[in-house]
Structure 1
Amino acid sequence: MATDYDAPRNNDEDKEAESLEALQANRGSKSQSASVDVEDADTAEGIDLPGADLSGEELLIQVIPPQDDEFTCSSCFLVRHRSQVARQKGDLLFCRECEG
C-alpha cells in the first residue's frame, strides 16, 4: 500500500475515534451471516485413515520408464537430466544439488 508522506498526520486519538465511529456505523448497516462456506475438500470423505483397507482401489497413474537422457540420483533418488550429473562412483550417479 502506498503512503503519502506529504499528507498531514492525524494523532492516535483521532484515529481511534474514527475507527470506533466507523465500527459502530458498520455494525448497524451490515447484517452478519451465520452460514459458513464449506468446500468439498473440507469434508472427511477424501481422507484415508491409517490402516484403511485399500485393496479394492486401483491406481490411475501412468508410469513412464527412464529416458536415455535421465538418471536417478543415488543420494536423493530424484530423476534428473544427464546434465545434472556431478559425480559418478562406479554405477552410482549423484546430482549437483546433493554434491553441493
Structure 2
Amino acid sequence: MEALKSASAPAARSVVTELGEADALDEGLTPGGEFVSEELIVQVIPQGKDEFTCSSCFLVRHRSQLARESSGHSYCIECEG
C-alpha cells in the first residue's frame, strides 16, 4: 500500500491542461491556439472488380484476402484469422 501512495502520479492541473489541449486539437486548433484552415484534397478511387470491402473491418481488400462470404457479406483473412 505504501508503494502505491509513494508512486509518482501526474499533478491534477497538468492532466486538466493536457485534456484541454486535446479538446482544442479536436476543434481545429493547434496547441498554440491558432486556427487551422486547410482543406484536404483527396482523390477517391472506386473499388476495383478484384477488390471487396470486409464487413468486419470495413477495409477495401484484394480478392486474394477473401476468407469467407455469407449472406452477401465478405470477410477478410485477418478478421477471420
TM-score (norm 2): 0.55
CA distance in 2, matches of 1:52, 1:97: 34
How many residues of Structure 1 are paired with residues of Structure 2 in the alignment?
53
Determine whether 1:93 maps to 2:69.
no
2:26 maps to which of 42, 47, 50: 50
Aligned residue number for residue 76 of structure 1:
57
Q: Match for 1:70: what amino acid? A: E
The structure having more radius of gyration, on CA atoms, is 1
Secondary structure (helix, strand or coil) at the match of 1:68 reads coil
Q: Match for 1:96: what amino acid? A: I
Gapped regions of structure 1 (runs ≥ 5):
1-47
Secondary structure (helix, strand or coil) at the match of 1:94 reads strand
Shift of 1:57: 3.8
Shift of 1:52: 2.4
CA distance in 1, matches of 2:62, 2:52: 6
Gapped regions of structure 2 (runs ≥ 5):
1-23, 30-34
CA distance in 2, matches of 1:52, 1:58: 12
What is the root-mean-square deviation of aligned Cα atoms in Å? 2.3
Task: Specify which structure has the bigger relative contact order, considering alpha-carbon pairs within 8 angstroms and separated by 6 or more residues.
Answer: 2
Among all aligned residue pairs of Structure 1 and Structure 2, give the percentage whose two residues are the same amino acid: 60
Shift of 1:59: 1.9
